[in-house]
Amino acid sequence: MLDDPTIKVGSPIVVHASAPDRILIAILQALPRDRALARRIRRRPDRDLLLCAPLIVRGDLAENFLVRHGKGFYERFLDAYWRRRRLTSAASPRRA
């Protein structure tokens, strides 16, 4: 078993990934590049954009009972979340 070249120290490990795994790996590898692009083109900080405002939902989706009530629940959740974030970030000292 020690003569098997695939288990020698220093030999390359071959991983066979399924299609969804390869997609995830590609996304994760592209993430730093995508984040750098977002930083370069950003004009306003995220906190200015991530406000709690009513979500816009297509009319045909808004007719569904679960979508309507789910949207209301999600909007209330976001409202509470951002209110709490503003309070905790205002209370914490700024980083230099």
Residue 12 lies in a domain: yes
Tell me the per-residue pLDDT of 57-86, one tens digit each, with 9 for 90 and over.
888 888 899 998 999 998 899 888 888 887
Residue 54 lies in a domain: yes
- Domain holding 55, by residue range, is 5-91
Residue 19 lies in a domain: yes
Residue 96 lies in a domain: no
The pTM is what?
0.42
Report whether pLDDT(26) > 70.
Answer: yes
Give me the percent of the chain exceeding a pLDDT of 90: 6
Using CA atoms, how far residue 46 sits from 1, 5, 42, 49, 82, in Å, is 55, 51, 9, 5, 12
Using CA atoms, how far residue 17 sits from 9, 22, 23, 28, in Å, is 22, 6, 10, 14
Count structural domains, the chain: 1
Residue 52 lies in a domain: yes
Residue 21 or 76, more confident: 76
